[in-house]
Amino acid sequence: MGSRDGPAEEQPVHRVIITSSFWLGTTPVTQRQFACFESGHKSCFHGKNHRPAQRVNWHQAKRFCQWLTEKRLTGSDWQRWQADLPTEGEWEYACRAGTDSSYCSGDGEQSLAHAGWFRANSDDSTEKVGQSRPTDARRKRSNAFGLYDMHGNVCEWCLDEWRKDVYRLRADGASDPIALGPEEPLKSPVSRTIRGGAHNLPSFFCRSAYRIGNGAADLGRFQGFRVALLPGPRCEATKAL
């Protein structure tokens, strides 16, 4: 995790061990999917069902995952699974898909143009999730794990509490680290971590290593999320730096 030449909150580069298997949503949660949970929700580009849901705060994203676990993961094949937001470690592992470059598609803004929607190619709006490259329908925007829109389109909430110095406090080789505070009241100042960048941001903010925090109750217009599926509840022992 992290970068050698990014801001202080991305340093130092360090190794994290993820000990449990998990699934991650192929795309961010779409407006149509989120409407199944909260029918009156209004995204910035409302009515575009296959674009990411926006203006979603951390609490709403967390409740969506709880609702998905309780109401939708039914039947013997799914009952043991838990839906949740990914940790920063899970998110970055999934985004990088085995790479150590700035983006899963390589380094430089031209590489990002093949993998995500950002200020230079988005026409100042979100785009339909999971699209192919406009220049070549045979080339997909997914990474090596088959995940789309990890870079740009919409920022994505992670489970972790935002801590700017967490990388400097964390031991190299830590297993399943989560910087996790309480699920605070709606007006609490505690912030949560956001990853991935958005359609309106320059390429720098869409890098695999880029991380920033925002208030958990904030309805930022560029904030969305994707769901992680875990083979059971998270272990309390992992809730550390």
DSSP-assigned letter for residue 63: H
Of the ranges 5-9, 21-25, 234-238, which one carries the lowest mean pLDDT score? 234-238
Query: What is the tens place of the pLDDT at every residue in 139-169?
Result: 567 899 999 999 999 999 999 999 999 999 9
97 has pLDDT over 90:
yes
Which is more confidently placed, 25 or 77? 25
Look-up: residue for tokens 């298997």? 21
Q: Looking at this protein, which amino acid is placed at residue 45?
A: F
Classified by CATH at the fold level, domain 8-238 comes out as paralog of FGE (formylglycine-generating enzyme) (3.90.1580)
**Above pLDDT 90, what percent of the chain?**
71
**What is residue 185's predicted lDDT score, i.e. its pLDDT?**
53
For residue 156, what are the β-bridge partners? Answer: 195, 224
pLDDT band at 179 (very low <50, low <70, confident <90, very high): confident
Burial of 43 (0-12, 13-18, 19+ CB in 10 A): buried
- For the chain, the C-alpha Rg in angstroms (whole number) is 17
Chain mean pLDDT for the chain: 88
Intra-chain end-to-end CA distance of the chain, in Å: 13
DSSP-assigned letter for residue 122: S
Query: What is the tens place of the pLDDT at every residue in 108-150?
Result: 999 999 899 999 999 899 999 998 554 444 456 789 999 999 9
If residue 64 lies in a helix (H) or strand (E), which one and from where to where?
helix 58-67
Mean pLDDT computed over 161-181: 91
